[in-house]
Structure 1
């Protein structure tokens, strides 16, 4: 009982996404829902932090560019990436690189401004 128990069906054309959407399509739909919730919070007057956790790795060039456009309007953005080259190159001026290194005493993080 309640709105948290409602069913939500996403569709691709006349087919339900569940069972018919490719991995990339499913992933893009999930990202679109998260971005929609971010936009709803902004519309209500708050400025949420936009957290993008390794999302660029799953996107083609056009979708990367579109997501970068959304992120450019955000007050604060935190992006993580396992592969630095996945992040759009025009973001280099705002990038803080963190390199993880293993040594005998344990793992150290090196911040590269």
Structure 2
């Protein structure tokens, strides 16, 4: 799904997002403390710091937003790059986790 929205798979943020989404799919309450709980959990799994995780995820989202399909972005987030908006890290993770839990059959089929 991350590739479908235009995120380059070679970025560290791509791998960190995969881990973050897996953690959220097990327990959506991780989203309640993204900087206090989720980033440190991802950092432990990848042997890095929470700050580096946050930065790499932000960079990966920016890359996807610049190069991805605006129709896909619009369908997932309700807006796209041409509207001058980009999702925050927490908004991106929350929407992607929600999509993976609930909308996989209806959206982007």
What TM-score do you get using the length of structure 2 for normalisation? 0.28
Q: Structure 1 or 2: larger strand share?
A: 1
What TM-score do you get using the length of structure 1 for normalisation? 0.27
Q: Which has the bigger relative contact order, CA under 8 A and spacing at least 6? A: 2
Q: Which of 1 and 2 has greater Rg?
A: 1
Q: Structure 1 or 2: larger helix share?
A: 2
